[in-house]
Structure 1
Amino acid sequence: MADFLIVITTVDNQDAARKLSRSAVEANLAASGQVTGPIETIYRHLGEVSEGTEWQVTYRTTEDRRQALEEHLVAEHPYDSPEVIAFGIDAGRAGYLEWITRATR
């Protein structure tokens, strides 16, 4: 498993995205949280195809903070079953990766 991760979630409004981003960074669970949006989403839920507008939050974190970040996002998220997915960072500038470690301590 990668030592450094990108973790993504989406919410239905910009204020919720900002709140999730800030709370994770303040808790040292992520080095940063970038809010992107609005984005259009088409999805299947309860057997129906729907569409809506969402805001995506992209976090940079370390593997040893991943579970705590996920638990935090699920607890603070406005959705009942939120998307929380993680991707390993395969390569990055050493100084940047060191910053992620320092910022999550």
Structure 2
Amino acid sequence: MSGYLQVSTATATREEAVRLAGSAVSAGLAAGAQVVGPVVSVFWHEGQYGEGEEWQVVLKTTEHCYAELEAYLLQNHSWGNPEVSATPITAGSAGYLDWLDRTTKN
């Protein structure tokens, strides 16, 4: 058994979010993903305040797959410096965690 993570990024369009989610899952880098949006984003970018709509992608994976998933998202994202962050899953049902192990590249 590995450690487990929820990895998130955001995109400008629903289409890109679904493409990133689907291709990461198809490659075995994540067991599943959800696309949420649009969401309102408030941020600093290149020294300026900004607001906009984005689509959030939340991927479920193992610690073992994280480095490869991060590299994949950075390489395939349309933005030059997209958010890619991970939050540990500290608890989960045995069946769910087993599913994460079985459906990712371990």
Normalising by structure 1, report the TM-score: 0.97
Q: CA deviation at 1:46?
A: 1.0
Percent of matched pairs sharing the same residue: 43
What is the CA distance between 1:5 and its match in structure 2? 0.4
Question: Structure 1: where are the runs of 5+ without partners?
Answer: none
User: What is residue 33 of structure 2 aligned with on the other side?
Assistant: 33
Supply the AA of the counterpart residue of 1:28: G
Name the counterpart of 2:46.
Answer: 46
TM-score (ref. length: structure 2): 0.96
Equivalence for 2:89: 89
The 4+ residue runs of structure 1 with deviation greater than 2 A are none
**What is the number of equivalent residue pairs in this alignment?**
104
> What CA distance in whole angstroms lies between the structure 1 residues aligned with 2:97 and 2:59?
13
What does residue 55 of structure 2 align with? 55
Quote the residue 1:7 is aligned against.
7
Runs of 5+ consecutive residues of structure 2 not aligned to the other structure: none
C-alpha separation in 1, matches of 2:5 and 2:47 = 32
Please tell me the root mean square deviation across aligned C-alpha atoms, in Å.
0.9
